[in-house]
Amino acid sequence: MSDIFKFETPSESNGFLLWKATNLWQREINKILKKFDLTHTQFVVLASSYWLSSKTENITQVEIANFIDIDKMMTSNVIRKLLEKKLLKRKEHKTDTRAKIISITEKGIETLKISVKEVEKFDVTFFGQLSNNVEFNKELLRLLNNYGG
């Protein structure tokens, strides 16, 4: 046993295993999204924009950033890329001059429809290997809720 690590092998470390599984999953998702000219982060911002706008009108960049729990500056940069690709559009907020209203374009909706099918199909295959997918999700949600996610 090392005087540095608590574990005898890396496969005993939940954090290390989560890191490796996340990287594997993201690598495969990125392969799928490449054919749609999207990065994984762009996909998540696009999907979240659609999801949030289906629940409420006039969603802002800040609401998107908070929903997916990423940095506001990163959100702004990703939205800028999605604007260039004409998948999102942005306009000034009516009452808050600092806020920007984000909406998804028809092209964005079409891109999302086909890319979500591919991503969800992969997720079923990838996570379908778990012995109990429902419990896995419950445990992830519990971790997220306990740590403010």
Q: Per the domain annotation, does 148 fall within a domain?
A: no
Q: Per the domain annotation, does 20 fall within a domain?
A: yes
Give the CATH number for residue 61.
1.10.10.10
Supply the range of the domain harboring residue 102: 10-141
Q: Per the domain annotation, does 5 fall within a domain?
A: no
Tokens standing for residue 49: 């924009």
Q: Which residue has the higher pLDDT, 64 or 92?
A: 64
Distance separating alpha carbons of residues 97 and 122, to the nearest angstrom: 41
b/e map of 56-72 (b: 16 or more CB within 10 Å)?
eeebbbbbbbebbebee
Location of structure tokens 């929903």: 67
Domain count, the chain: 1
**Per-residue model confidence as pLDDT tens digits over 12-54:** 888 899 999 999 999 999 999 999 999 999 999 999 999 999 9
**Per-residue model confidence as pLDDT tens digits over 132-146:** 989 999 998 998 889
Q: Is the pLDDT reported for residue 102 higher than 90?
A: yes
Mean pLDDT rounded to a whole number for the chain? 91
Distance separating alpha carbons of residues 123 and 28, to the nearest angstrom: 10
- What does pTM read for this prediction? 0.87
The burial class, CB within 10 Å (0-12 / 13-18 / 19+), for 122 is middle
Neighbours of 21 (CB within 10 A): 11
Distance separating alpha carbons of residues 129 and 97, to the nearest angstrom: 48
Neighbours of 94 (CB within 10 A): 9
- Amino acid identity, position 126: F
